[in-house]
Amino acid sequence: MTTPAPANDSSASLVAYLSHFAGKRVLCVGDVMEDRFIYGEVRRISPEAPVPVLRITRESRDLGGAGNVVRNLAALGVQVSFVSIIGDDRAGREVSELLASLQSVEPYLRVTRYRETTIKNRFFSLDGHHLLRADRETVQTITPADEDDLARTALSQLPYVDVVVLSDYSKGVFAGTLASKIIAGAREAGKPVIVDPKGSDYARYTGATLITPNRNELQDATGAAVDVESNLVAAAQKLRADIAADSILVTRSGEGMSLVSADAVTHLSAETREVADVTGAGDTVVAVLAAALAAKVPLVDAARLSNVAAGVVVARHSTAVATTHDISAALMRHNLTPAEAKCADLPTAVSQLAVWRREGLKIGFTNGCFDLLHPGHIALINQARAACDKLVVGLNADASVRRLKGPTRPVQSESARATVLASLANVDLVVIFGEDTPKDLIEAIRPDVLIKGADYVRSNVVGGDFVESYGGKVLLAELVPSYSTTATIAALKTNSR
């Protein structure tokens, strides 16, 4: 039976699933690599050859391959055990550092002298045009000793996880029998296995719960035509039967996805309107599927959530992650005002900031209670926004305001204050924090410019020393006299007598 997804799925019921992701445990095994993004100006053609000359202005690095699956899982609040292999080299050490920065990830990395850590160097012009990709890698089967160690480590984690992910990037981790060993162990332990495959020999994935090939990979694996929907479904059914998989989820780029099981086929339309970069979208799909299955979400609904998440990340540049807030906002976007869409939790904010930084944008930060918005607040925000390209406002939560201002404050709830702030054109993101000071928030956001009112002295600005330690600046904005929330409340009480 073939069914299209309903045009108006119950978004609220899908959103409800997201709250169950936090704390679930996933074992991810696969080929880890480092993604490097190099940006620069292109103003001339080389006199040596007809190629552009890139004057590099900035670089960034992040986890790639199976590491990007891990990043996405961590962004969803999932606890991850990650098993992989790296070279005894600089890139391997950088991969280790990047994994160590993810608090919910427990890495098990085997270090070997017999291979180098894969690096993908992507070169971009400042306007976002992809100019070149240069890879450095070892593509060969891992040694028997390496495979035995990875298998032993992965199998030892099975009692503690809810779902297993095999992320195959065809760099050698799964070239031998590792996949079949883990699948057999997971089946025995009653744990679902999701495979993001590569190559044409899918026999190694026999017995997996769910395989997620794209259209081209499905064609390579089966040798069958996938040019029209009926042929694609037939090829997926053949693959499912050949390798005794429960289901096949075929990703079809701009056409969405098709979930093919023994007794049903569900087609999902693509969720994004504008595509900025498809890099890493498949990793996001696998991560959301894993988190959803760990939370006991029905497979069709898990596929719907992953389809929405894919729409989120392809609208962003470079490898990106989708948080539960991102997915929730995308599901409910028809019910969200533009202001509400600017209100984010911290993981979502950090993800968005990474996108802005890759675009070369300067990030500013200011904070406050903003209980009753007045001209003094507006002046601060306008000056703050003039000093940066994107302004993040940290907003004290209700409990924090009560501790700072007394039991009668705030006058407005944190949600109301956040919505009012986000309605301002010069505010790009609002993040609520519960502590008495924004110290932890500032350290997570790492703004380029920290802005406070001129009633502060530089030495008293919370986070100022931290921001300046990495080259950021602290700006004291001019105040508009005679305005304060406390004075406004006092005046209202006087006038009401």
Judged by phi (left if over 0) then psi (alpha if -120 to 50, else beta), residue 261 lies in beta
Q: Catalytic: 345?
A: no
Encoded tokens for 462: 């919370």
Host H or E run for residue 399:
helix 398-405
340-495 has the same fold as 2-336? no
* Structural element, H or E, at residue 226: none
CATH topology for 340-495?
Rossmann fold (3.40.50)
> Superfamily assignment of 2-336 in CATH?
Ribokinase (3.40.1190.20)
Contacts 24+ apart (CB under 8 A), 443-448: 444/346, 444/350, 445/349, 445/350, 445/353, 445/363, 445/365, 445/392, 446/363, 446/470, 446/472, 447/363, 447/364, 447/365, 447/388, 447/392, 447/472, 448/362, 448/363, 448/364, 448/388, 448/472, 448/473
Spatial contact of 366 and 394, defined as CB atoms under 8 Å apart:
yes
Comparing C-alpha atoms, which of 315, 217, 222, 237 is closest to residue 271?
A: 315
Q: Which amino acid is at 29?
A: V
Token pair in block for residue 416: 């109301």
Instruction: List the chain pLDDT tens, one digit each, 497 residues.
Output: 444 444 344 677 788 898 899 899 999 999 999 999 998 888 899 999 998 899 998 888 999 999 999 999 999 999 999 999 999 999 999 999 999 999 899 999 999 998 999 999 999 887 778 889 999 988 889 999 999 999 999 999 999 999 999 999 999 999 999 999 999 999 999 999 999 999 888 999 999 999 999 999 999 999 998 888 899 999 999 999 999 999 999 998 778 889 999 889 999 887 655 555 556 688 999 999 999 999 999 999 999 999 999 888 776 666 678 888 888 878 876 555 566 678 888 887 887 888 788 778 999 999 998 988 888 889 999 999 999 999 999 999 988 888 988 887 788 888 888 888 988 999 999 999 989 899 999 999 999 999 998 778 888 899 999 999 999 999 998 877 655 555 555 544 555 55
Q: Where are the domains of the chain?
A: 2-336, 340-495
* Active-site hit among 62, 162, 168, 283: 283
